[in-house]
């Protein structure tokens, strides 16, 4: 018997998988928002420091949950679609190995070279010291983040979206509870580095509890993929890494694009650095929202592709992506018209809130294009057609990177010039990926 996703009614199946995925994504967003609230009590300096580190943390999530994790979900879905349980179980073992090694490698690289990146994007003096302190602790424990995300990716590939959402809920609950208790809020009494260290340790403890939770949920009855056997199939490891690292190019390009934009805005002062840092959190938390539907698409599309029904898989991919565009586009437009809903709740200084609001008023209306490009990237993981979405992300990064030249030549003179450049790159990204897949890899 093959995957139960093949042949099931599309709308009920997509809803059944996507709703828990979106809830899990909202919980991931809640973790980001709660952290920002805790750190805002420490003032602008703490927010600016985290703004420089946050893109690298999101890169860790995007690699372990969206890129290599997405490749893992797609491989699990195709294995179950082909009724190959032994392969699915081997993928689980391979995912654990990749998570531990990948998290350790990333942690080592950021520990060694992170301070250079933080300085480049505008962190100086006390901001740089706070950023280094926070990153040192978080990236020492990065294997915990990778392992949690990779295990959840296995659950998503098997269609167990509710279990993955429950595991994410455990992380948010633990972080919120311990954060209130352990993260100091008055830097006049504790110092900003104490706040940053406490926030980092609490984050790692929360992910440690999350790993215990997700292991229990994998072992719980009813989950088709079990911990059976101990050997590693290196051909599966290689296949996951080939697909995942190609997808990781997209993730890396997205974060580099964010770092370049942060660096350009940071040239206008620490208040713009902090304000844009708050605003860009909304774009980056759109990733888990898009991933909520995208993870359901990976499971369904991958199952159909594994069962040999490629045309039906492509049709489902387009429908799911349209849902992503509508939801994310509506959120972006709503926040653009009411920017203080986001910025006022997270910002501490009036000037920081004003810069955050100005950013969202320009970028918010165009988040639907971002959803188109990234949504199709996730759907492509189920079909193993990642090339064009990756090219689109690289081109978006290059468009924003030209801002470095425009700045030096005097064509960019205000923060709004930078923001409109970022908006133009976002529009191009979405249109390019849609056209490339429609007339290329997914043509009828």
DSSP string, 89-130: HHHHHHHHHHHHHHHHHHHHHHHHHHHHHHHHTT--HHHHHH
Q: Tell whether 4 is covered by a domain.
A: no
Domain around 288: 10-439
Q: Tell whether 1 is covered by a domain.
A: no
Q: Token pair of 103, please?
A: 């998290």
- The domain total for the chain is 1
What whole-number distance in Å separates Cα of residue 148 and Cα of residue 227? Answer: 16
Would you give the DSSP letter of residue 365? G
What whole-number distance in Å separates Cα of residue 419 and Cα of residue 400? Answer: 10
What whole-number distance in Å separates Cα of residue 234 and Cα of residue 241? Answer: 10
Q: Tell whether 5 is covered by a domain.
A: no
Q: Tell whether 242 is covered by a domain.
A: yes
Residue 281 near residue 352, CB atoms below 8 Å = no
Q: Tell whether 444 is covered by a domain.
A: no
Q: Tell whether 259 is covered by a domain.
A: yes
The pLDDT tens digits along the chain (444 residues) read 456 667 666 777 777 777 777 777 777 777 877 877 777 776 777 777 887 888 788 888 888 987 898 889 888 888 888 888 888 889 999 999 999 999 999 999 999 998 888 887 777 878 888 889 899 999 999 999 999 999 999 998 888 888 988 999 999 999 988 888 877 654 444 456 677 888 889 999 999 999 999 999 988 887 777 777 678 889 999 989 988 888 788 778 877 887 788 778 877 877 787 788 778 777 766 776 787 788 788 778 878 887 778 888 888 889 889 988 998 999 999 989 988 888 876 656 778 888 888 889 999 899 999 999 988 988 887 787 888 898 999 999 999 888 877 777 777 778 888 889 989 999 999 999 999 999 988 887
């Amino acid at each position: 018997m093959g995957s139960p996703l093949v042949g099931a009614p599309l709308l009920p199946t997509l809803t059944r998988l996507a709703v828990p995925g979106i809830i899990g994504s909202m919980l991931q967003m809640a973790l980001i928002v709660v952290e920002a609230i805790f750190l805002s009590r420490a003032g602008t300096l703490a927010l600016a420091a985290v703004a420089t580190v946050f893109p690298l943390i999101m890169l860790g999530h995007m690699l372990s949950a969206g890129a290599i994790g997405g490749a893992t979900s797609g491989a699990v879905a195709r294995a179950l679609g082909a009724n190959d349980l032994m392969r699915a179980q081997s993928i689980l073992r391979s995912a654990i190995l990749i998570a531990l090694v990948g998290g350790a490698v990333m942690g080592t690289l950021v520990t060694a070279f992170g301070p250079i990146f933080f300085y480049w994007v505008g962190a100086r003096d006390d901001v740089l010291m706070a950023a280094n302190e926070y990153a040192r602790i978080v990236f020492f424990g990065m294997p915990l983040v990778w392992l949690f995300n990779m295990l959840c990716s296995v659950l998503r590939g098997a269609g167990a979206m509710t279990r993955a959402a429950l595991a994410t809920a455990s992380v948010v609950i633990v972080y919120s509870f311990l954060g209130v208790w352990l993260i100091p809020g008055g830097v006049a009494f504790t110092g900003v580095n104490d706040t940053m260290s406490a926030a980092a340790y609490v984050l790692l403890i929360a992910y440690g509890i999350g790993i215990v939770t997700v292991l229990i949920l994998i072992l719980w009855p009813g989950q088709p993929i079990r911990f059976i056997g101990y050997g590693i199939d290196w051909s599966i490891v290689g296949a996951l890494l080939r697909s995942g690292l190609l997808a990781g190019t997209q993730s890396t390009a997205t974060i580099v694009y964010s770092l370049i934009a942060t660096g350009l805005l940071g040239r206008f002062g620490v208040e713009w650095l902090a304000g844009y840092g708050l605003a860009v959190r909304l774009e980056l938390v759109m990733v888990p929202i898009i991933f909520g539907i995208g993870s359901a698409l990976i499971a369904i599309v991958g199952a159909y592709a594994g069962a040999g029904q490629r045309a039906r898989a492509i049709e489902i991919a387009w429908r799911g992506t349209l849902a992503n565009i509508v939801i994310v586009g509506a959120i972006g437009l709503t926040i653009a018209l009411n920017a203080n809903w986001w910025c006022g709740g997270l910002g501490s200084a009036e000037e920081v809130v004003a810069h955050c609001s100005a950013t969202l008023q320009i970028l918010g209306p165009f988040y639907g294009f971002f959803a188109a490009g990234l949504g199709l990237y996730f759907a492509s993981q189920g079909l193993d057609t990642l090339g064009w979405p990756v090219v689109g992300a690289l081109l978006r990064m290059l468009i924003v990177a030209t801002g470095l030249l425009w700045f030096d030549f005097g064509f960019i003179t205000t923060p709004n010039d930078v923001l409109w450049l970022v908006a133009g790159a976002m529009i191009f990204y979405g249109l390019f990926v849609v056209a490339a897949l429609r007339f290329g890899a997914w043509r009828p």
